[in-house]
Chain A
Amino acid sequence: MQHQLLAQPAMSVAKLTMQAGESVTCEVGAMIAMTSGFNVETTSRNKGGSGGLAKGLKRMFAGENFFLNHFTATASDQTLMIGPGLLGDVMHYPLLGNTLIVQGSSWLASAVGIEIDATWQGFGKALFSGEGMFWVKCSGSGDLFLNSFGSIYQVDVDGEYVVDTGHIVAFDDTLQFRVGKAGTSLVGSILGGEGLVCKFSGQGRLYCQSHNPPSFGKLLGPKLKAR
């Protein structure tokens, strides 16, 4: 499978070129266009693998869809265009046996060799991190495509790093994070508009998005006409 990311960063789409027999698993609704030589299969389990009802439900809690779409090329040089729902970036991440923790709804597509599972982020974090209750855990090896709202930037964390809640796209499982206040005083943090932040520690890579959907919604919502 070859990939090409087009129109980055604001309105990115991924163009995947696949040979006969190659498969890719995509988020439901991610397909924009494709050539005719694809076999599309919709199930709740990973391609040729485990999962099913329970995994589907866990994915739903993680902010993803119950179902997954598997695209399998039936002829050579088939192209598939996939893109995110919101205006934003698409990121390619080659997973090499390691594990990436992805914010719910940021997962776009992955190669067959990647296991998609939901992982509980812990009680305190679930309540305050501004993310879903679960994260999507991607492990295995192969190509992984993530999407974001706004553009994605990468941070190599060694030590500590602070991200506002809602701006996390993905991070290595070698990183640990806590939810804490931005400043030394809670009142100050809230008045400063930062409120609670995610504090990462350890060593690993962190991917952040430049915008976050809830803030955007809050700005836009009042301006929309009631239907």
Chain B
Amino acid sequence: MQSTYSGGVFSDTLADGRAGGEVELMPAGIAIRCPDGEFFVIPYRECQVEMGGYHGRMLFCRNPDRSLTIYSEDAQFRRDLSLAAAGMLDEQLAMGNRQRRSESRRSLFYAVAFVAATLVVVVAGYFAVRSGAKAAVLALPTSVDAKIGDAAMQSMTLEGPQVEDPVIVDAMQSIVDRLEPQAAVEGFQFKVHVVDSPMVNAFALPGGNIVVYTGLIRSATSAEQVAAVLAHEMAHVTLRHGLQRAGQSLGIWAGMSLLIGDVSGLMGAGVDLFQTASANQYSRQHENEADREGVRMLQAADIDPAAMTQLFAAINKEQGDLPEIFAWISTHPDDASRIAQVEALIQKLPPRDYRPIDVDWAAVQTQLSDLPANQPPGD
């Protein structure tokens, strides 16, 4: 057993009312010796024990009228006191320990509850801002789409030079012009850019800029097939998928600033996102929506929507040779089930008299074959 424990005493007889000192467990009781020689004893049988102090680990021993209190925070003191008092104080000590444990349990509970509540608030807040930003994006005017799309169009690197040939460009624009009145949302300026590249690809930027690669036009055996692709891309624009993707890519701060009406973060994110054409992938859900809306637009414009599945089939047949250039199919995932879905959609459509598109497709193909990208390699 340790002989002394550092502690202190409260007593009315002391000048200052209290003093520090060395606590001893003597046969007669708990004693304390102060540095200036004062000495106090509380007999074990009169002792009342309490826990307390700043850390809740201090043991206070009081005499019955509470005029004398001896205390120590030494952990050993608690254990030794039980032995020295021959079990006389065990009940009180156990009660103090129980009280201390229940208090520490309670504070642990509050701490855990607080951390959990904070986590819930943070996580819920995060998702609230994210979904709020998503909803807020759709409430923005279409001019925001156009601004993002135009800025991205200007700064993006395309896979080849832009084609200015009036036969090709006018053919594309006339298809778009025929589809445009059927667009679900008014106010978008659709503009087709033809890019000379063997890539079989096309994509739309927010606001109405649509890029078509000559590889895709060449793969198409009719103007209707290109119309199917353009209808699909225009559907991305009118359904504002681009802006929704930009909204989803927003960080939490830009999302919050969007919620209070600051679109600069969204614009930046959108331009960043659409600068790289290869990153231009929509979610499965957006692709399906664009397919459905594209089929609806084709039907409404009296163009046979079956052209869409024809193009899929044509591309699939060729894909064996050079799979990497068939970007339009590969960035539009799971084409087998997609073709099935589009076919099912077309089946359900009411019969209609389709009008052919007024474009000389053979002339377009002739013009295309004169472009450098379509020259045989090594020429």
Contact = CB atoms under 8 A, between A and B. Distances in A.
B20 to A, nearest CB: 3
A192 interface: no
A179 to B, nearest CB: 10
Interface string A156-196: 10000000000000010111110000000000000000000
Interface string B76-113: 00000000000000000000000000000001001100
A222 interface: no
Contacts of A96: 19-20, 35
B56 A176 contact: yes
Nearest to A122: B107
A51 to B, nearest CB: 21
A169 to B, nearest CB: 15
Given A98-B20, A123-B114, A202-B52, A173 B10 contact: no
A66 to B, nearest CB: 24
Contacts of A98: 8, 18, 20
Contacts of B20: 96-98, 141
* Interface size class of chain B, counting residues whose CB lies under 8 Å from the partner chain: 20 to 34
A101 B111 CA distance: 23
Given A124-B107, A203-B69, A176 B53 contact: yes
Interface in B128-184: none
Contacts of A156: 17
Given A96-B19, A174-B8, A174-B71, A127 B53 contact: no
Contacts of B10: 174, 203-204
Given A97-B6, A97-B20, A176-B52, A123 B110 contact: yes
A175 B114 contact: no
Contact of A173 (B17, B53, B110): B53
Nearest to A176: B52
Nearest to B111: A123
Interface in B37-82: 52-56, 58, 60, 69, 71, 73
A119 B53 CA distance: 14
Nearest to B69: A203
A98 B10 CA distance: 12
B54 A176 contact: yes
B107 A174 contact: no
A175 B35 contact: no
A124 B20 CA distance: 30
Most buried by A among B35, B54, B114: B54
A207 B56 CA distance: 20
B58 A173 contact: yes
B21 interface: yes
A203 B62 CA distance: 11
Contacts of A124: 107, 110-111, 114
A201 interface: yes
B137 to A, nearest CB: 35
B21 A174 contact: no
Nearest to B22: A97
Interface in A100-132: 101, 119, 122-124, 127
Given A97-B21, A203-B60, A175 B53 contact: yes
Interface in A72-109: 96-99, 101
B48 to A, nearest CB: 13
A101 B20 CA distance: 15
A176 B54 CA distance: 4
Contact of A202 (B6, B60, B73): B60
Contacts of A123: 107, 110-111, 114
Nearest to A123: B111
B236 to A, nearest CB: 48
A111 to B, nearest CB: 16
Contacts of A119: 54
Given A97-B35, A156-B17, A173-B73, A202 B111 contact: no
A74 B6 CA distance: 35
A175 B17 contact: no
A201 B60 CA distance: 13
B36 to A, nearest CB: 9
Interface string B1-30: 000001010100000011111000000000
A202 B57 CA distance: 12
Given A123-B107, A202-B60, A175 B54 contact: yes
Contacts of B107: 122-124
Nearest to A201: B52
Nearest to A101: B54
B6 A127 contact: no
A174 B114 contact: no
A202 B56 CA distance: 10
A9 to B, nearest CB: 22
B18 to A, nearest CB: 8
A101 B110 CA distance: 24
A171 B52 CA distance: 14
Given A123-B107, A175-B52, 12 more contacts: A97-B21, A123-B114, A127-B114, A156-B17, A171-B54, A173-B54, A173-B73, A174-B52, A175-B53, A176-B52, A176-B53, A204-B10
12 contacts: A97-B35, A98-B20, A123-B107, A123-B111, A127-B114, A173-B53, A173-B54, A174-B8, A174-B54, A174-B58, A176-B53, A177-B54
7 smallest CB-CB distances across A and B, nearest first, come from A97-B20, A123-B111, A173-B54, A202-B52, A98-B20, A176-B52, A124-B110
